[in-house]
């Protein structure tokens, strides 16, 4: 009988401990930043972005499908749209459609680098409600491919600088604007810029590129808007699974055909996802946003020492962004078999696109694939890959500048570090800095986020000016 009493006492103690921890797991005091209005001509940035959208700077892995004139058109437009910037800054073009501007500061301590890309992904024009490259303004929106990703930040950076130069402002230290015209196809522009910085021994105090944004309803149990600043990004790996066979006519098949063998490999990997990794950026996100969550979720987030499995399970069941935060993901994207319907393929292949969580490497991931498929007939090789990025610091003046600027521009939002699950040009900057932050200076609805790389991409006119405000406030701190 006493065993029952002891068990009940232990259970009560356990429930008490996790409940008290959840009750105490409340938001840390954030110094509230009063909203300060920034005054500038609010029509000019809208007109300028409209012009940028009219350049069809569509990048393609096959360069013969790119229209180089359109990229040149955009480059030659910039001095017209942002004349003071081009009067003040030195300008360089590097291979890979990289455009680099230096705005000299008063001192010569470590500079700030503001990044963006001016290429865009292709459109399915017939699926759009409005034309994607006309710069149409209707009902308070500017329509067009690249409005959100990410000509709005190219425009935000240059409009902010143009305005500040007009006010007689000079930054404390150098500010560089680093733009690439091939981010969407993993082009070499950003890498060439980083090479340039390395050759000139330039190690930035702060780098800001696209990434997170101010978003709502992305974290379990949190209703307030969250300003998510990426402090790292996952790696990428395309893996190929190849099975060879003696081929032959489909009328007399042998057991263990190549397609069936590949199908088994695919199912094994989907049934056994990579193990959960609570990397520092994901942990910090749970630690910050978890405190703002509802009590039920706080029981989990305040007690990760005993509820890791619950997050693991939540990720496995829901998939999507939460799961992508906590493990290396595997998405099967391509398959190829016979060219004829009645011929067994002599070679069949699958391709999976994988995003590597910090803590995994290309080698360790390949090892996991081979171990899980456990079939020597399936040859698994890596096609393209890069490792997860370096993780940037959060206890430093560089982080504070970006976080304070987000708070000042979107008062009341919860600022939090996060792990970016997509890739951006900023991963190259891990070679020269551990103060690289990924934040697209916009607040975005779920619908707006879905239109990035999709149909009907458009931006609210007020968002165009919010981006300018953000960069004005940030530049004033640099």
- Residues lying near Zn ion in the complex (CB under 5 A): 149-150, 210
Of the two residues 115 and 239, which places its CB atom closer to Zn ion in the complex? 115
235/430 Cα distance (integer angstroms): 13
139/102 Cα distance (integer angstroms): 37
- Cβ at position 210, least distance to Zn ion in Å: 5
Q: Nearest-CB residue to Zn ion?
A: 149
- Cβ at position 183, least distance to Zn ion in Å: 6
- Cβ at position 214, least distance to Zn ion in Å: 17
Question: Following DSSP, what letter does each residue of 218-233 receive, concatenated?
Answer: -STT--S-EEEEEEEE
Residues 6+ apart with CB under 8 A from 410: 214, 225, 227, 443, 466
Enumerate the β-bridge partners of residue 356: 235
Of the two residues 214 and 380, which places its CB atom closer to Zn ion in the complex? 214
With 0-12 / 13-18 / 19 or more C-beta atoms within 10 angstroms meaning exposed / middle / buried, residue 424 is: buried
Q: Pairing relation of β-strands 206-215 and 112-117?
A: parallel
- Cβ at position 107, least distance to Zn ion in Å: 32
Residues 6+ apart with CB under 8 A from 82: 48, 158, 159, 161, 162
Q: Among 209, 208, 51, 219, which Cα is nearest to 144's?
A: 51
Helix (H) or strand (E) segment spanning residue 41? none
- Cβ at position 451, least distance to Zn ion in Å: 13
Of the two residues 241 and 439, which places its CB atom closer to Zn ion in the complex? 439
- Cβ at position 150, least distance to Zn ion in Å: 4
- Cβ at position 149, least distance to Zn ion in Å: 4
Rg of the chain in Å (alpha carbons): 25
108/407 Cα distance (integer angstroms): 28
Of the two residues 393 and 422, which places its CB atom closer to Zn ion in the complex? 422
- Cβ at position 117, least distance to Zn ion in Å: 6
Inter-residue contact 237 to 369 (CB < 8 Å): no
With 0-12 / 13-18 / 19 or more C-beta atoms within 10 angstroms meaning exposed / middle / buried, residue 65 is: exposed
Of the two residues 121 and 218, which places its CB atom closer to Zn ion in the complex? 121
Inter-residue contact 162 to 85 (CB < 8 Å): yes
- Cβ at position 470, least distance to Zn ion in Å: 17
88/343 Cα distance (integer angstroms): 66
Of the two residues 323 and 457, which places its CB atom closer to Zn ion in the complex? 457
Of the two residues 338 and 422, which places its CB atom closer to Zn ion in the complex? 422
Exposure of 258 in the CB half-sphere (CA atoms within 13 A): 22
Of the two residues 66 and 210, which places its CB atom closer to Zn ion in the complex? 210
CB atoms within 10 A of CB 243: 23
Of the two residues 210 and 323, which places its CB atom closer to Zn ion in the complex? 210
């Amino acid at each position: 009988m006493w065993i029952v009493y002891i068990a009940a006492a232990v259970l009560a103690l356990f429930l008490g401990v996790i409940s008290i921890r959840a009750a105490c797991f409340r938001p840390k005091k954030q110094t509230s930043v009063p909203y300060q209005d920034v005054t500038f001509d609010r029509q000019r940035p809208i007109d300028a972005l409209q012009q940028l959208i009219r350049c069809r700077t569509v990048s393609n892995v096959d360069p013969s499908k790119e229209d180089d004139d359109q990229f040149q058109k955009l480059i030659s437009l910039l001095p017209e749209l942002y004349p003071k910037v081009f009067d003040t800054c030195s300008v360089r073009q590097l291979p890979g459609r990289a455009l680099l501007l230096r705005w000299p500061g008063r001192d010569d301590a470590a500079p700030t680098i503001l990044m963006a890309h001016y290429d865009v992904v292709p459109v399915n024009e017939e699926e759009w409600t409005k034309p994607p490259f006309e710069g149409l303004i209707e009902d308070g929106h500017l329509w067009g491919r690249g409005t959100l990703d990410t000509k709005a930040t190219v425009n935000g950076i240059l409009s902010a600088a143009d305005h500040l130069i007009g006010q007689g402002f000079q930054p404390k230290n150098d500010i560089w604007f680093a733009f690439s015209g091939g981010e969407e196809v993993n082009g070499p522009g950003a890498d060439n810029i980083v090479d340039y910085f390395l050759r000139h021994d330039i190690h930035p105090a702060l780098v800001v590129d696209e990434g997170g944004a101010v978003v709502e309803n992305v974290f379990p149990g949190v209703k307030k808007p969250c300003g998510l600043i990426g402090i790292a990004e996952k790696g990428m790996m395309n893996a190929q699974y190849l099975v060879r066979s003696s081929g032959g006519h489909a009328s007399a098949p042998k057991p263990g055909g190549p397609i069936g063998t590949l199908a088994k490999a695919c199912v094994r990997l989907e049934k056994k996802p990579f193990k959960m990794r609570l990397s520092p950026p994901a942990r910090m996100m749970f630690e910050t946003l978890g405190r703002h969550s509802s009590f039920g979720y706080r029981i989990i987030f305040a007690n990760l020492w005993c509820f890791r499995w619950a997050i693991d399970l939540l990720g496995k069941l829901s998939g999507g962004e939460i799961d992508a935060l906590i493990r290396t993901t595997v998405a099967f994207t391509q398959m190829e078999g016979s060219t004829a319907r009645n011929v067994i393929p002599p070679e069949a292949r699958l391709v999976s696109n994988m995003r590597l969580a910090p803590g995994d490497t290309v080698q360790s991931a390949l090892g996991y694939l081979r171990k899980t498929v456990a079939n020597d007939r399936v040859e698994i090789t890596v096609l393209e890959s890069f490792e997860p990025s370096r993780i940037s610091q959060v206890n430093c003046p560089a982080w504070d500048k970006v976080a304070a600027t987000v708070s000042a521009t979107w008062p009341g939002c919860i600022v939090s570090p996060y792990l970016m699950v997509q890739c951006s040009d900023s991963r190259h900057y891990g070679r020269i800095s551990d103060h690289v932050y990924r934040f697209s200076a916009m607040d975005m609805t779920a619908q707006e986020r879905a239109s990035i790389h999709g149909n009907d991409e458009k931006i609210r006119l007020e968002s165009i000016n919010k981006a300018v405000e953000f960069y004005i406030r940030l530049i004033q701190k640099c």
